[in-house]
Structure 1
Amino acid sequence: MKTINEITPWGTRSASYWMTLLIAAGIIFVGLRFIINPAAGADGYGIPFANAKDFPFGRIKGIRDIFSGLVLLPFLLMRMRFATACVFTAAIIIPATDCAIVLATNGAGDIQHLLIHGLTALYMAITSFLLFRNKQA
């Protein structure tokens, strides 16, 4: 097992780099929205709050979303493809579980939110495949 960070040609010229950065930036935006306007964040998620007393839970989710996006940035900036791939792949559990929660709460009729979460999980799975794929020069 290698214990050093080897600089590789992977980086801004790779589609997987930008695909990962898009998700990182997107989830940071979602987290900020939950902190700034928890009601809008909850509506966007697919499970609106019952009242303003639920807002702290939105802010709790918001800071966790921001962390989820920020945790990828150092790996991207240091061009650590394998570390990025491992963390990013583990994170697929989040939109997959979000999809299951929306399905369990709203039922199969909430196609819009099921697609948002489900397609995010699919996008992340494709990105993970690309991150792990070892391109030979």
Structure 2
Amino acid sequence: MKTLFHYLTLLAGLLLIFIGMRFLVVPMTAELDFGIHTNTGGDFSFHYIKGIRDLFSGLAIVLLLLTKERRATGFLLLAGSLVPMVDFSVILSHPDYVTARLYPHAIAIVLCLMLGAYHILTTAKS
């Protein structure tokens, strides 16, 4: 189980890095895949904000995991579960949302809660 949860956490962090980079490099494509479409008028400021948020979160998860700070990784994941929860609700409130675009956010919520709890509960306090 330890190996499975380690690699699931690593995968989650790497996916966040990928998603963040996509928002920084190809913001419109990333936005559509995220599940919304907004008229930006060519201003991608919010895309870049989202991109750097995801890039930072992914890097933090990967770095904490690789330095064996499992308890800190768990707390970061639990606190970070707020992000996909809000993302889910934003997409759900968008007038022309597509149900399939909700699934990645729902999966992220479950993963953050499950992996976060695992890392906290299976790591001794220092």
- So what's the TM-score if we normalise by structure 1? 0.80
Report percent identity of matched pairs. Answer: 28
Pairing 1:89–2:73 present: no
Query: Are 2:35 and 1:49 equivalent residues in the alignment?
Result: no
Structure 1 stretches of at least 4 aligned residues deviating more than 4 Å after TM superposition:
none
* Amino acid in structure 2 at the alignment position of 1:64: R
CA contact 1:27–1:69 (8 Å) conserved in 2: yes
Where do 5+ consecutive residues of structure 1 fail to align?
1-12
Matched, 1:120 2:108: yes
Which has the larger Rg? 1
Provide the rounded CA distance (Å) in 1 between the counterparts of 2:19 and 2:107.
16
Structure 1 window deviating more from structure 2 (85-94 vs 13-22): it is 13-22
TM-score normalised by structure 2 residue count: 0.86
TM-align CA RMSD: 2.0
In 2 relative to 1, CA 135–77 (structure 1 residues): closer, same or farther, beyond 3 Å? Answer: closer
Per the alignment, do residues 96 and 79 of structure 1 end up closer, same or farther by CA in structure 2, a change over 3 Å counting? same
Q: Counting helix residues as a fraction of each chain, which structure ranks higher? A: 2
Match of 1:58 in 2: 47
SS in 1 for 2:122: coil
Point out the more displaced range, 26-35 or 49-58. Answer: 49-58
Return the letter of the residue paired with 1:99: F
Structure of greater relative contact order (alpha carbons < 8 Å, 6+ residues apart): 2
Shift of 1:130: 2.0
Q: 1:31, 1:62 within 8 Å by CA — same for their partners in 2?
A: yes
| Mapped partners of 1:67, 1:52: distance in 2 | 26
Partner of 1:110: 98
